């Protein structure tokens, strides 16, 4: 796929850098008539199937902002790097953007493994990272704005719905072997037991694994009546195909997923997913004027009339606008200023109203559940009437009136309790 980069130039600022101060960040980032930001996604490797679309959505947002006058009258210039689907590479590229290029803000990454790999860079150098992916929670960093769903926006609606509406209560939990699926499994187990269900297995295969025959056999012989999938990346495609190839059908034994989106459905072929379910705040099928326009503009931007949109991609798009609003409120781009100005920022996204929670820098989102159809789109079968407050520690007892994550950081006493 060719990207439209006419308005953007790859930029490098040579020389090693010592610990950068906010003032230095501002001088470098606002040179001449541009404001430089980092864009860090995997354009190669197994995760590029998803991350290329996050990159494109970010670049589209930048292009649209530039076309409407930019930020404080200046054009945004993207400094692009490739995470190559590898946490180590992510760390190296984040260090380059923050230390060498001296960028105060970077938009990037997809997996929790990549986020964890870059987090020390942003915290040590006091830079801001806008992270667009749904994730497992249990994190509270003043250097990250989290715009994807946390478990209470993705699982707290999903597990009870599976048990009460689908009538399924015997779960086989399966995931890719890294932090996100394992932490999501912990949340799933808590909610399954709380709602009167049970889990018969909790199994993992390495990220990128493509041989799913043995695992599907385990599922068939387990006695489960529903599969809770936290499988990630191109492994999703191999898993669903093997599921159908072994004669399993979603009407009798549905896969209910926390990761499978329109982009994986398009890659595997819709027939393999028909009847299965996913819980996300955003689906391409959302019937809003903002979403219909978003889909049309995105397809035009990537020059693909059949391109699909999905939750993490939607967040990758709207978080650039949240940053723009924060910069214009603060009247500067320094990390400290952006951090404070982004609190409480609202935006009418393609999936509806979103808002950055002032306390924890996570985002208010609307939980939804969709069933995948023969045309590759999700039919929304359940949706909350309004956005839900993000509670990254909900599985550990956090509530709206008892927050664990605040501007002062996480309260360790509450975690022990």
What is residue 19's predicted lDDT score, i.e. its pLDDT?
39
Do 56 and 84 share a domain, yes or no? yes
Do 32 and 131 share a domain, yes or no? yes
pLDDT category at 21 given cuts 50, 70, 90 is very low
pLDDT at residue 27 is higher than 70: no
Domain hosting residue 108, numbered range: 22-149+288-366
pLDDT at residue 324 is higher than 70: yes
Q: Is residue 46 part of a domain?
A: yes
Do 177 and 315 share a domain, yes or no? no
pLDDT at residue 8 is higher than 80: no
Q: Is residue 32 part of a domain?
A: yes
pLDDT at residue 28 is higher than 70: no
What is residue 196's predicted lDDT score, i.e. its pLDDT?
97
- Mean pLDDT estimate for the chain: 92
Do 169 and 115 share a domain, yes or no? no
Write the DSSP string, 56-88. HHHHHHHHHHHHTT-BTTBEEEEEEEE-TT-HH
Do 269 and 401 share a domain, yes or no? yes
Q: Give 269-300 pLDDT, tens digit per residue.
A: 999 999 999 999 999 999 999 999 999 999 99
What is residue 3's predicted lDDT score, i.e. its pLDDT?
36
Do 125 and 176 share a domain, yes or no? no
Do 358 and 399 share a domain, yes or no? no
Structure token pair of residue 360: 């924890």
pLDDT at residue 339 is higher than 50: yes
- Specify the length of the chain in residues: 417
Partnered with residue 50 across adjacent β-strands are none
Task: Report which of 156, 148, 151, 150 is spatially closest to residue 354, judged by C-alpha positions.
Answer: 148
Do 242 and 341 share a domain, yes or no? no
Which is more confident, 115 or 7? 115
Q: Structural domain tally of the chain?
A: 2
What is residue 31's predicted lDDT score, i.e. its pLDDT?
52
> If residue 341 lies in a helix (H) or strand (E), which one and from where to where?
helix 335-342
* DSSP-based three-state secondary structure for 94: helix
Q: Is residue 62 part of a domain?
A: yes
Final residue in a domain of this structure, among 347, 366, 385: 366
pLDDT at residue 335 is higher than 80: yes
pLDDT category at 417 given cuts 50, 70, 90 is low
Q: Is residue 1 part of a domain?
A: no
Q: Is residue 6 part of a domain?
A: no
pLDDT at residue 109 is higher than 80: yes
Do 191 and 172 share a domain, yes or no? yes
What is residue 165's predicted lDDT score, i.e. its pLDDT?
98
Q: Is residue 344 part of a domain?
A: yes
Which is more confident, 223 or 49? 223
Which is more confident, 351 or 4? 351
Q: Give 147-175 pLDDT, tens digit per residue.
A: 999 999 999 999 999 999 999 999 999 99
pLDDT at residue 5 is higher than 60: no
The mean-pLDDT minimum among 16-20, 77-81, 180-184, 240-244 falls in: 16-20
Q: Give 240-266 pLDDT, tens digit per residue.
A: 999 999 999 999 999 999 999 999 999
* DSSP-based three-state secondary structure for 267: helix
CATH code where residue 388 lies? 3.40.50.2300
Q: Is residue 11 part of a domain?
A: no
Q: Is residue 354 part of a domain?
A: yes
Do 122 and 177 share a domain, yes or no? no
pLDDT at residue 207 is higher than 90: no
Do 141 and 187 share a domain, yes or no? no
Task: Report which of 63, 42, 70 is spatially closest to residue 333, judged by C-alpha positions.
Answer: 70
Do 252 and 393 share a domain, yes or no? yes
- Strand 144-146 to 128-131 pairing: parallel
């Amino acid at each position: 796929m060719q990207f439209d980069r006419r308005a953007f130039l790859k930029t490098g600022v040579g020389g090693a850098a010592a610990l950068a101060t906010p003032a230095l960040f501002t001088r470098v980032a606002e040179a001449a008539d541009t404001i430089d930001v980092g864009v860090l996604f995997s354009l190669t490797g197994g995760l590029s199937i998803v991350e290329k679309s996050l990159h494109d959505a970010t670049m589209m947002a930048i292009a649209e902002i530039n076309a409407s006058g930019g930020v404080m009258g200046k054009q945004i210039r993207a400094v692009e790097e490739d995470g190559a689907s590898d946490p180590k590479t992510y760390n190296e590229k984040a260090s380059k953007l923050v230390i060498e290029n001296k960028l105060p803000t970077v938009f990037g990454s997809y997996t929790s493994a990549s986020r964890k790999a870059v987090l020390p860079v942003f915290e040590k150098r006091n830079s801001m990272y806008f992270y667009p992916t749904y994730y497992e929670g249990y994190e509270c960093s003043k250097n990250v704005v989290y715009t994807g769903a946390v478990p209470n926006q993705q699982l707290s609606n999903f597990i009870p719905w599976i048990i009460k509406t689908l009538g399924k209560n015997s779960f086989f939990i399966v995931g890719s072997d890294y932090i996100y699926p394992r932490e999501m499994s912990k949340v799933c187990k808590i909610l399954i037991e709380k709602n009167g269900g049970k889990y018969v297995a909790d199994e993992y295969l390495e990220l990128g694994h493509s041989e799913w025959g043995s695992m599907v056999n385990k599922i068939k012989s387990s006695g489960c009546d529903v599969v809770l999938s936290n499988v990630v990346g191109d492994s999703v495609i191999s898993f669903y195909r093997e599921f159908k190839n072994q004669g399993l059908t979603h009407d009798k034994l549905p896969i209910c997923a926390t990761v499978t989106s329109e982009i994986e459905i398009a890659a595997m072929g819709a027939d393999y997913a028909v009847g299965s379910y996913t819980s996300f705040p955003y689906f391409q099928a959302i019937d809003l004027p903002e979403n219909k326009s978003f889909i049309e503009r995105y397809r035009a931007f990537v020059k693909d009339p059949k391109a699909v949109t999905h939750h993490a991609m939607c967040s990758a798009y709207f978080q650039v606008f949240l940053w723009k609003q924060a910069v214009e409120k603060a009247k500067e781009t320094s990390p400290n200023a952006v951090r404070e100005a982004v609190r409480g920022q609202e935006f009418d996204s393609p999936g509806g109203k979103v808002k950055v929670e002032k306390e924890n820098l996570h985002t208010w989102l609307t939980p939804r559940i969709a069933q995948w159809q023969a045309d590759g789109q999700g039919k929304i079968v359940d949706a909350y009437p309004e956005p839900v407050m993000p509670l990254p520690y909900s599985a550990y007892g956090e509530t709206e009136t008892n927050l664990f994550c605040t501007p002062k950081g996480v309260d360790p006493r509450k975690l022990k309790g």
